[in-house]
Amino acid sequence: MLYVKRDTWGNLQQVEAAPFEGMDGELQADSHEAQAWYANQIAESSLLKLEQSDLDMIRVLEDLITVLIRKGVVRITDLPEAAQSKLVGRSKARDALGGLHRLINDDESELI
């Protein structure tokens, strides 16, 4: 048995395995509605992970471009003006915050 809270239109807002404050109903765990709820939760979680991965990849690509420029493989002027502007803007924003050493822990896994 699952315990649920619904909005005014009857849509599930919260589903829990144990009773909780504010619940307003129950639902069989094997019901189509419960399975759809959990499938949606899994999809939302996957989308959030993908979104975070996209943000991480942006930083990787930015670092790659910086390395290629420093090694002389590519010049910033080889990039489209919009890309140049974005890279310069991000660089200025990081400099204004004091550079990378203030943003990233020693293990480079979390922002401070």
> What is the per-residue DSSP string for 45-68?
HHHHHHHHHHHHHHHHHHHHHHHH
Residue 23 lies in a domain: yes
Residues spanned by the domain of 31: 2-74
Residue 102 lies in a domain: no
The whole-chain average pLDDT of the chain stands at 86
Q: Is a pLDDT exceeding 60 seen at residue 111?
A: no
Amino acid of residue 42: I
Residue 36 lies in a domain: yes
Residue 84 lies in a domain: no
In this predicted structure, what is the pLDDT of residue 101?
53
What is the token pair recorded at 36? 């759809």
Residue 32 lies in a domain: yes
Q: How far apart are alpha carbons 112 and 108 in whole angstroms? A: 10
Amino acid of residue 96: A
Q: Specify the pTM.
A: 0.51
Q: Is the distance from CB of 19 to CB of 38 less than 8 angstroms?
A: no
Residue 21 lies in a domain: yes
Residue 94 lies in a domain: no
The pLDDT tens digits for 22-73 are 999 999 999 999 999 889 999 999 999 999 999 889 889 988 998 999 999 9
